[in-house]
Amino acid sequence: MTRALRLVGRGTLVTASLLALAFAPSVTAQDAKPQQTKGVSVGSQSTLLLDEQMPALKGHALRLRTIILQPGAVVGHHSHARRPVVAYLVSGEYTEHRDGLAEIVHKPGEQWVEGAGLAHWSENLGSEPVVLINVDVLTAK
């Protein structure tokens, strides 16, 4: 009787293990964070050194850029720990993958911030180029 219970217990354990594997989440785009950037270019750029403009921000610059992502482009995983950004989407659909959050699909006319606590990667899954305007504060070189 004890042996029969042990066999049933083992069978239940094996069945439970197989079910757990079958229903375990698969590796998603969110889990596989690309490190390389491809298909991305900077259209225009202006940079203002802040040393004379705002002495408290000595050694920093304010930068405005137009960024273009071709269809299939990827911006590799990165952090904004030292480079906060304000972004505006001019055209296309921009898919963003923020660490620990659901995918965000930005539409033309939307704006958002990318602050110190943000790490993410993004891509253009659409058929037309994505055009972004980014304003960031960075360490001047």
* pLDDT higher at 1 or 112: 112
| Under 8 Å between Cβ of 77 and 33 | yes
Q: Is the pTM of this model over 0.85?
A: no
| Under 8 Å between Cβ of 55 and 88 | no
33: helix, strand or coil: coil
pLDDT tens digits along 101-114 = 999 999 999 999 99
Residue 97 pLDDT exceeds 50: yes
- CATH code for residues 38-139: 2.60.120.10
Cβ within 8 Å of residue 49, ≥6 positions away: 61, 140
How far apart CA 49 and CA 57 sit, in angstroms, is: 9
Rg (CA), the chain: 23
